[in-house]
Structure 1
Amino acid sequence: MITVRDLRKEYGDFVAVEGSTFEVAPGEVFGVVGPNGAGKTTTLKTLAGLVEPTAGTVEVAGRPPDEPAARQQLGFLPEESPLYEEMTARSYLSFFADLYDIPTETAQKRIESTLDRLELDHRDRPLGDVSKGMKRKVAIARSLVNEPDVLVYDEPASGLDPLTTNYVVEFTRELADAGKTVVFSAHNLYHVESVCDRVAVMNEGRVVAKGSPAALREQYGTTEYRVFTSIPVDGSEETDRGHRVTVESMAAVDEVREQVTAAGGEVRDIRTIEASLERVFLDIADGSETEAGA
């Protein structure tokens, strides 16, 4: 469980985050999205206990994130995560297990199980000699070595090829399905939409909207209707499926239907086109100052 109330972070005269409030429940994936400089990374580092809030409160599993007991329940993956490249995956993870005082036998079983789940090969090869995708998987495994209840991932699929990206995104969903509380940021809004239960949109340090992807589309997006007819109508264009006209309401669809019928034609098809989360995000970030409901 994560609870954030009126979070504010200042760096001198610069306000990086102002007034952020949200909660994330166990088993939930909560996305934090926004343009560069919106305050996403500062927010995630605050959740991870790496940045001290100027004002407001943050709790991870019921405790301030900088407390040792909270750190035991937390796994953090920064966007840039350099590894000790002379180590192997096994030795690297064993090193971090020692830092958490995990008994050796327990650590070894946990490490092997996690590497199996991540389908990570070449476990005894120096990390400097493996691919970027494998390094990212090792970094994810490191975030899990202490069996945390809360995971904070900053761009977990940053710079990865499409296949590895899809795997990392799906694995994030699996962690939530196993009861973990997951917060992550990502620039690829298709993946955000596919994996997140709820999303917070940040802009200029503020949460300007939050809710499920469906709720955000309903509140901020627009729905279009593409009507294909056998004859031309006002504003239509010819396609290989007939004459197409795009309207924004079912009332307008009915008007097209009546016009076509009166002229002796027919409506061949009607397609509903909903706004993508990316389109909604761009519209919100461009001008919204009103926060959506949770």
Structure 2
Amino acid sequence: MIDVRELRKEYGGFVAVEDSTFSIESGEVYGVIGPNGAGKTTTLKTLAGLLEPTSGRVEIDGKPADDRETRRLLGFLPEESPLYEEMTPLSYLRFFADLYDVPRAVADERIHDALDRLELDHRTRPLGDMSKGMKRKVAIARSLVNDPDVLIYDEPASGLDPLTTNYIIDFTRELADEGRTVVFSAHNLYHVEEVCDRVAIMNEGRIVAEGALEELREQYGRTEYHVFTTVDVPDAVRENGRYRRIVEAMDDVEAVRETAEARGGKIDDIRTVEPSLERLFLDLAEADDSERRRESTEA
């Protein structure tokens, strides 16, 4: 379990993360999303024990995240992960396994298992001759050589083609299904929505909302009803021989029905559209920006 309480991280006079509090259960996939500069990478590096909090605490299974032994149980993948390009995947991964004191036989079994699952066949080719997607798979395999319980991935599919991206996102879900805890950030909110059990939405260093997607939809989202009629009704648009009116309440659906029938038509279809994670994110970030401007004006 990861437990974060009132985390604050400053660089000089700049506050990168401010009073963040959340917890992550074992086996969860937890997404951290937000615009550039929101504090995502700082948060993940602090969870990985690579940054010391200015204040607050970060614990993994009851121990400080920056404790030497705790860090040995983590797997961390930074957004930018330069590799030793003259090495091959096998020599590179064996090198990191040695750093973790993993016996060679055990290390080789883990390395080949990870590369098999990631479908990377070119294991003796120099890393410098590999594509970005192949290199990313090697970096992910590196995060697994010490058999960690907690994986922290910063933009694991950054800059990759759609096919490789989908594969890595699916692999992330598989890791959680094995009982590992996975924390990751991503700009592609569709993938976050697909695999995350819960998400934290950050804006300018603060968590502005946190929870399961359905909870966020219920608390912050607006469900829309797309009502299709056979005749024109006020505020409708014509689509493929029908008319579509968007409303936000069942009472409004009933009003559309009455109007359509009064004009000699009827409702042909009703579709319920839940807000996407991207829509929730944009609305919450905009609301937070407005609140900050208001507070600044009143100060």
What is the aligned length? 290
5 Å-filtered alignment, 1:153-192, equals 153-192=153-192
Aligned residue number for residue 252 of structure 2:
252
Question: Which AA in structure 2 matches 1:203?
Answer: N
5 Å-filtered alignment, 1:140-289, equals 140-288=140-288
* Deviation of 1:222 (Å): 1.3
Aligned residue number for residue 11 of structure 2:
11
SS in 2 for 1:228: strand
SS in 1 for 2:245: strand
Aligned residue number for residue 135 of structure 1:
135
Aligned residue number for residue 30 of structure 2:
30
- My pick for the range that moved more, 237-246 or 16-25, is 237-246
Q: Say if 1:228 and 1:241, in contact at 8 Å, map to a contact too.
A: no
RMSD: 1.2
Unpaired segments of 5 or more residues in structure 2?
Answer: 292-299
**Which segments of structure 1 move beyond 4 Å, counting only runs of 4 or more?**
none
Are 2:105 and 1:105 aligned?
Answer: yes
- My pick for the range that moved more, 262-271 or 41-50, is 262-271
Cα distance in structure 1, aligned partners of 2:206 and 2:243: 45
Aligned residue number for residue 297 of structure 2:
none
* Deviation of 1:241 (Å): 4.0
5 Å-filtered alignment, 1:110-129, equals 110-129=110-129
Cα distance in structure 2, aligned partners of 1:82 and 1:263: 66
Cα distance in structure 1, aligned partners of 2:128 and 2:202: 36
Q: Say if 1:39 and 1:202, in contact at 8 Å, map to a contact too.
A: yes
1:169-222 deviation digits (Å, cap 9, x = unpaired): 000000001000110000000000001000000111111100111211222221
* TM-score in terms of structure 1 length: 0.96
1:95-154 deviation digits (Å, cap 9, x = unpaired): 000000111111111111111111111000000001100100000000000000000000
* TM-score in terms of structure 2 length: 0.94
Unpaired segments of 5 or more residues in structure 1?
Answer: none
Aligned residue number for residue 78 of structure 1:
78
Question: Which AA in structure 1 matches 2:220?
Answer: Y
Question: Which AA in structure 1 matches 2:63?
Answer: R
Cα distance in structure 2, aligned partners of 1:25 and 1:157: 23
* Deviation of 1:61 (Å): 2.7
